[in-house]
């Protein structure tokens, strides 16, 4: 079974803090993704990576950065958290052109 | 125009009914298509891939119409446990395996 693990289920951070969301997959997938999901807006792609140290912007990259130093780990960084970044964050991984598998999600609240 | 569009529903159907969802996509170069299921406050889970010739998995049938750029999901003999949001997903293969999600169609199956 594919396992995608996100480091936290729930996080509460203060405005202006630097926030790290970690994601690890154990299936040697080359592709990894970060999405955020908000009511009425569906899943929106923030960043994705198709190889170690490679990254591409998704549809809403502003205010975020990513890091992929190892194949199994893809980190999402909120440089200076703001209240409009309160959301559910979902990490996923996939192999080539196949469907992706998701982690359980991190519900981030910025106060 | 959104890249992937779905009717948000909700579709309210009785147990045993047959229900169909459609989804349209804008990029004619898209090559891979999927249906995901998402339960309330859970991560999306891959339900099935969609192949050009159409494919079936038990009570679920997926179809792809490339000429009209839409995919469909048919659920026969609906069960209470089918109640969920169904997400249409397109691999926007512009050189990378970028998965684009529709906003989802909500299904509620009642006794």
Q: Which residues of B63-73 are buried (b: 16+ CB within 10 A; e: fewer)?
A: bbeeeeebbbb
Distance from CA of A82 to the nearest CA of B (A): 23
Q: How many CB atoms lie within 10 A of CB B60?
A: 17
DSSP structural state of residue A14: -
For the record, the structure tokens of A98 come out as 């196949």
pLDDT confidence of residue A98:
80
pLDDT confidence of residue A91:
97
pLDDT confidence of residue B109:
97
Distance from CA of A110 to the nearest CA of B (A): 19
User: Mapped to the 3 state alphabet, what secondary structure does chain B carry?
Assistant: CCCEEECCCCEEEECCCCEEEEEEECCCCCCEEEEEEECCCCCCEEEEEECCCCEEECCEEEEEECCCCEEEEEECCCCHHHCEEEEEEEECCCCCCCEEECCCEEEEEEC
Q: Which residue carries 């991190």 as its tokens?
A: A106
The residue among A61, A108, A68, A103 whose CA lies nearest residue A85 is: A108
Q: Residues in chain B with pLDDT < 70? A: 1, 93-96
The residue among A78, A80, A85 whose CA lies nearest residue A64 is: A78
Distance from CA of A31 to the nearest CA of B (A): 7
pLDDT confidence of residue B58:
96
CB-based contact (8 Å) between B73 and chain A? no
Query: Collapsing DSSP states into helix, strand and coil, what is residue A83?
Result: helix
Residue among B31, B44, B97 minimizing CB distance to A102: B44
**What backbone torsions phi and psi does residue B43 show, to the nearest 5 degrees?**
-80, 155
CB-based contact (8 Å) between B44 and chain A? yes
Contact by Cβ (8 Å): B49, B33: yes
Q: Residues B49, B55, B59, CA angle at the centre, nearest 5°? A: 95
Q: How many CB atoms lie within 10 A of CB B54?
A: 14
Cβ distance A40 to B103 less than 8 Å, yes or no, reads: yes
Q: Residues in chain A with pLDDT < 50? A: none
């Amino acid at each position: 079974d594919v396992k995608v693990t996100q480091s936290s289920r729930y996080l509460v951070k203060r405005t202006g803090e630097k926030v790290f969301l970690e994601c690890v997959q154990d299936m040697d997938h080359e592709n990894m993704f970060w999405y955020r999901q908000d009511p009425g807006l569906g899943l929106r792609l923030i960043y994705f990576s198709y190889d170690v140290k490679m990254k591409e912007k998704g549809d809403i990259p502003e205010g975020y950065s990513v890091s992929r130093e190892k194949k199994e780990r893809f980190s999402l960084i909120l440089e200076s958290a703001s209240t409009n970044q309160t959301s559910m964050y979902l990490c996923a991984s996939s192999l080539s052109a196949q469907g992706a598998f998701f982690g359980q999600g991190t519900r981030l609240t910025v106060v | 125009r959104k890249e992937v569009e779905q009717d948000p529903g909700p579709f309210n159907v009785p147990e045993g009914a047959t229900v169909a969802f459609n989804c349209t996509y804008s990029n004619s170069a898209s090559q891979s298509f999927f249906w995901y299921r998402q339960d309330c406050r859970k991560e999306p889970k891959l339900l099935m891939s969609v192949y050009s010739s159409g494919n079936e998995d038990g009570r679920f049938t997926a179809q792809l119409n490339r000429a009209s750029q839409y995919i469909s999901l048919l659920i026969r003999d609906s069960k209470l446990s089918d109640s969920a949001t169904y997400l249409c997903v397109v691999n926007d293969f512009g050189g990378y395996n970028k998965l684009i999600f529709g906003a989802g169609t909500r299904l509620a199956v009642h006794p």
